Every structure is written in C-alpha cells, then in structure tokens.
Amino acid sequence: MVLEFFLTTEDHVAFNEHVARTSPVLRKQRATARIVGAVLCGATSLGIAWAFERSLPVALVTGLLTAVVMWFLLPRILWRSLLRSIRKMVAKGLVGPVGEVRVTLAEDGLTVQISGMTSSLPWASIEGVAETEDHYFVFASPVAAIVVPRRVPGAAELIDAVRAASVRLR
C-alpha cells in the first residue's frame, strides 16, 4: 500500500501541539512549573508586602492570594509561551520538512520519502498511533512521528493497516 500527499507547515504545527498536549514528560514539566511558579510568586509577594507593611497578616494574605491567582493563570501563560515557541520554530523553518510525501507499507515496516530523504520504520519501532480531528501520528519515539493528514484519501485505510501490522508483527 502506498499513500502520497503534501505535508504542510500547519501539519507539523499540529503534531507539535499534539505532543505538547499529550506528552507525559511535558505535562509533568508544566505541572512542576505551575507549582514552582505559584510558590515563588506567592513568596515574592509575601516578601514585598512584608517590606512595605510590616504586618504579618497582610503579608500572608497577599502572598497566599498571589499564589492562588498564579496557580490558575500559569497553565494559560505556559501554554501561550509554548505556542509562541512553536511559531518561532515555524518562522525559522525548524518544524520539519514540508512537501510531497510518499509512505509505503511493506512487510518489514514503513518507508517514508520526503524532501529527497528516505526513512524506514520497522514494525517493532512503532510506539503507537495517535489521532486528532485532523491528523494521524505514527510514533517512532515520544517526540518523532510520521504525520498523516486525515484530508488525504486513503489515510484511514493506511492507519488501519499500520495498526494491524504493528500489533501482528511485534
């Protein structure tokens, strides 16, 4: 089975956003940043309030309120920062190759040709298949995947074959 399609920058952006949303490592980093950020902001606010007011109750309330506000704001701030980083990568052309792609399903795995490069992915190397509303991702590692847009005729059939073969041949 062979599938040919055009891979765009937007397809790579979708992959990067998917990894950012679903990666356990990145999720843990965001959770840690949320905790550390809230505590540091609260402690800083407490110190500033103490320096100006010299009142422990005022300083404690100010520090606690700041920590609580930051606890709720930091997820949005961190997500926007991540999206900005992805946009910067796009602007520098660092999100991955774009252009004509040819994915070939063979007995030993997948072969992908894009931008003059050919890569092989044996069945045993496939870590899983994820899907979003617009894309399929055949993962070779937690942060590397073959991106297959759903808009491509035959994409669902290819992914079904990949799932069946990777389970059967592992």
Per-residue pLDDT reduced to its tens digit, 66-95: 999 999 999 999 999 988 888 888 888 777
> Tell me, what's the pLDDT at 170?
53
Ordered strands of the 135-141 beta sheet: 128-131, 135-141, 144-149
CB count in 10 Å sphere of residue 94: 10
Percent of the chain with pLDDT over 90: 65
Looking only at the bridges linking them, the beta strands covering 2-7 and 99-106 are antiparallel
- Tell me which fold the domain 2-11+97-168 belongs to: PH-domain like (2.30.29)
Q: Which two tokens stand for residue 35?
A: 């905790």
Contact predicate 151/134, CB 8 Å:
yes
Residues in the chain, pLDDT under 50: none
Extended strands (E) in the chain: 2-7, 99-106, 109-114, 117-122, 128-131, 135-141, 144-149
pLDDT at 169: 58
- Go through the chain and tell me how many residues it has: 170
- Domain range summary for the chain, segments of one domain joined by +: 2-11+97-168, 12-91
